[in-house]
Amino acid sequence: MTLLADTDLDVDAALSFRFAPAVQDRLAAFRGRCTVVRLATLDNEVLGVPRWYTLQEAWAEPGSATAASWSGNPVVAVGPSDDPELVLATGTPVVVVGADNAAARWTRQVVDAVRATCRSVLVVDMGGRPDPSYADIATYGFDRRHGAALLGLLTGR
């Protein structure tokens, strides 16, 4: 993966992002309507809230342009007991969001299944140990700031 920072983003958060080859060229396809597949990884033990709480706060921030363009996207939550061969009835690009995607067999199976059945797929790993095979974008954090920087990247803001 290569390092890329976009000056329109939260520079401190975006500087930690790593991108797989050619991902930058494909980002525009995910800036319109897309389907979000959220891998239901472990809750945040320290805060006692779901791991995605801070990301959801960023993407639902009232009055923000990012929230306005992103919050209308359908979200499919997938957990370890769900069939990895899920069928997405969508012609839109798909963004898969998880944390440490390669760490569990079920998350790898979901990513592989989505990549096999959908035309345009972008896999985001917000965990601390991303594997390049399961991360087109690695954010190295899932706090509100990293979530806002990711949404800025995905919405072009």
pLDDT digits (tens, 9 = 90+) for 15-69: 678 999 889 888 888 888 888 888 876 555 555 555 555 566 666 666 777 777 7
121-125 and 137-138 strand pairing? parallel
At residue 1, the pLDDT reads 32
Fold of the domain built from segment(s) 2-155:
Rossmann fold (3.40.50)
> 145 near 16, Cβ under 8 Å?
no
pTM of the model: 0.79
Q: Which residue reads 């706060």 in tokens?
A: 57
Dihedral of the alpha carbons of 155, 52, 101, 71, in degrees to the nearest 10: -30
Distance, C-alpha 60 to centroid of its chain: 15
* Range picked from 54-58, 69-73, 127-131, 143-147 for highest mean pLDDT: 127-131
Helix, strand, coil % in the chain, rounded to nearest 5: 35, 15, 50
